[in-house]
Structure 1
Amino acid sequence: MSAGSKPKPAPKIGRPRAFDRDTALLAAMRIFWAQGYEGTSIQDLVGVMGVNKPSLYSTFGCKEDIFREAVDLYDRVEGLATSRSLSDASTAREAVETMLRSNARAYTVDEGPRGCMIVLSSLLGAPENESVRAFLADNRLDGETILRDRLSQGIAEGDLSASADVGQLAAFYTTVLEGLSIQARDGASEQKLHLIIDAAMLAWPAG
């Protein structure tokens, strides 16, 4: 190196990411929520996530991998309405009713897609998406199991009749919750959803 010449800067190791992974995943969650799994293409994901296709595959994997991560994010963020209702309520009946009503409010907000991403994304038809269908079915079954456990707690604590069929009740109110999601996506008002909940709570076992 000649006198007075400046040393060249050392080359940078690795290529910095030009996007924030969490922000990109949030964008993916929203488009899956709005369009469903089958209705969302890789090109849609590239567009909203702010990455090119090679970067998308190297960072997140295939479309199904991205979807599974998006569902996990949805559970952690949007699932709070359900988890808090079940954990904070003092009785099993209050837990169920609060769960339904808090989700009715969440399903009908003006910002973002209406309804539940997991329920709406489960309406799949293509045979090649069977693994996604099974994944979503397991996710919903997990939710039903959590509700059944809360109902069993109600029996143990004496606020739900010992003769109550907790499996039947958990399946019924899970189905009501999923139906609220479909109604919300179809444009039903929050008031209409609460009227449906009023009718559903009439099925609560006496005693």
Structure 2
Amino acid sequence: MGRVKEFVREEALRSAMKTFWSKGYEGTSIPDLMQNMGISRSSLYETFGDKQSLLNEAAKYYSRLVGEKRRSILANAKTVKQGLTDYFRYHMEVALEENWPGGCLITNLSIYHDYLDDETKKLIEESMETLEEAFYHFLEKGKENGELTSALDSRKTARLLLTINHGINVVTRVKGDSCHLEDISESILHLLT
């Protein structure tokens, strides 16, 4: 009879996510993961596979944990102004949360895009495409209900919001200043509404 795994899989995955988020893929070692996840080397490999497979699972977990909430804010917004305010407020809360490493796991990983395997690259690209589409549909809804001018190019503006979104993640890693980020949020609203 095999040994019973003495850890909760989701808690271990959450710890792995935070480790990759904080240190990046290259900066994260197997001993780092074992220590932070509270599991043995054999449990890590038996449960999650190799380091690359664990990174991919951690990135998917992050997308479910954080990405779905962000997209639901946009999808359920009553107004453009409220949607953008709520979205970027939540975005900044996550980026500055003391219990998180800062910024965004997807943004942090994208910096090392060339060094990642094809599956991880695809996960990053899909995450960005999904968020761009969420912004696009949000803006189209704002045009349909008359809050935004019909002349607004929703595709180009969605790409701008995506870029701002990931730029905020980089800024929070360096500055970690909520006042600075609130200025960005206000500027976004001023540009669009």
TM-score normalized by the length of structure 2: 0.88
Cα distance, 1:150 vs. partner? 1.7
The structure that has the greater radius of gyration is 1
1:24-173 maps to which residues of 2 (within 5 A)? Answer: 24-79=12-67, 81-124=69-112, 127=115, 129=117, 131-173=119-161
Q: Give the whole-Å Cα distance in 1 for the aligned partners of 2:50 and 2:37.
A: 14
Give the structure with the larger helix fraction.
2
Q: Is the 8 A contact 1:155 1:161 kept in 2?
A: yes
Cα distance, 1:130 vs. partner? 5.0
Q: Give the whole-Å Cα distance in 1 for the aligned partners of 2:122 and 2:60.
A: 15
Cα distance, 1:141 vs. partner? 1.5
Q: Give the whole-Å Cα distance in 1 for the aligned partners of 2:116 and 2:109.
A: 15
AA matched with 2:91: N
Post-superposition Cα deviations, 1:22-58, rounded to whole Å, max 9, x if no partner, equal 1111110111111112221222212212222222112
- Equivalent position to 2:171, from 176, 183, 203: 183
- Which has the larger displacement, 73-82 or 173-182? 73-82
Cα distance, 1:200 vs. partner? 2.6
For these two proteins, the number of residue pairs brought into alignment is 193
Cα distance, 1:15 vs. partner? 2.5
Post-superposition Cα deviations, 1:130-167, rounded to whole Å, max 9, x if no partner, equal 54234212211211112112222222333222221110
Change (3 A) 1:145 1:128: closer
Where do 5+ consecutive residues of structure 2 fail to align? Answer: none
Equivalent residue, structure 2, for 1:16? 4
Q: Is the 8 A contact 2:19 2:28 kept in 1?
A: yes
Q: Give the whole-Å Cα distance in 1 for the aligned partners of 2:139 and 2:116.
A: 37
Cα distance, 1:102 vs. partner? 2.1
AA matched with 1:25: L
Q: Is the 8 A contact 1:92 1:159 kept in 2?
A: yes
- Which has the larger displacement, 48-57 or 30-39? 48-57
For 1:79, what is the secondary structure of its paired residue? helix
> Kindly, what percent of the aligned residue pairs are identical?
28
For 1:38, what is the secondary structure of its paired residue? helix
Change (3 A) 1:79 1:138: closer
CA RMSD of aligned residues (A): 2.1
Q: Give the whole-Å Cα distance in 1 for the aligned partners of 2:66 and 2:72.
A: 11
Q: Which runs of 4+ in 1 moved over 3 A?
A: 125-131
- Which has the larger displacement, 177-186 or 91-100? 91-100
Q: Is the 8 A contact 2:77 2:83 kept in 1?
A: yes
Equivalent residue, structure 2, for 1:195? 183
